[in-house]
Amino acid sequence: MSCPAMAQLLSNTLYYKRFFPYYSFNVLGGLDSEGKGCVFTYDAVGSYERVGYSSQGSGSTLIMPFLDNQLKSPSPLLLPAQDAVTPLSETEAVDLVKTVFASATERDIYTV
């Protein structure tokens, strides 16, 4: 199953329970049909969006500013529109994730 198809399946599952939601704010990542990385972020009732990067949970308030800084995300209000994410190699991405979680665990006891 492709990642975009899985993203739609998860959205449908969450939306099906919208009146008694699971209250889970998911992040789904994988590869699209072109072999490029893709990340989808969700709200509790299944609304989703493809983004360059995301975080959810108690540590997200610590992680997102760090990711914004490291990935040099421009303001969405800038015209003309610019690419939202700095491309990373696999090694750089893994190192960034390790650093982000290490940073968040120092200040948030719920991030493991």
Query: What is the DSSP code string of the chain?
Result: --HHHHHHHHHHHHHHTTTS------EEEEE-TTS-EEEEEE-TTS-EEEES----STTHHHHHHHHHHHHTPPPTT-SS---SS----HHHHHHHHHHHHHHHHHH-TT--
* Confidence at residue 84, expressed as pLDDT on a 0 to 100 scale: 62
Q: What does the alpha-carbon distance between residue 30 and residue 2 come to, in Å, rounded to a whole number? A: 8
**pTM, 2 dp:** 0.81
Tokens 């049909």: give the residue: 33
**What is the pLDDT at residue 106?**
92
pLDDT recorded at residue 76: 65
Task: Give the pLDDT band (50/70/90) at residue 79.
Answer: low
- Residue 101 is predicted with a pLDDT of 92
**pLDDT tens, residue by residue, 10-34:** 999 999 988 887 788 899 999 988 8
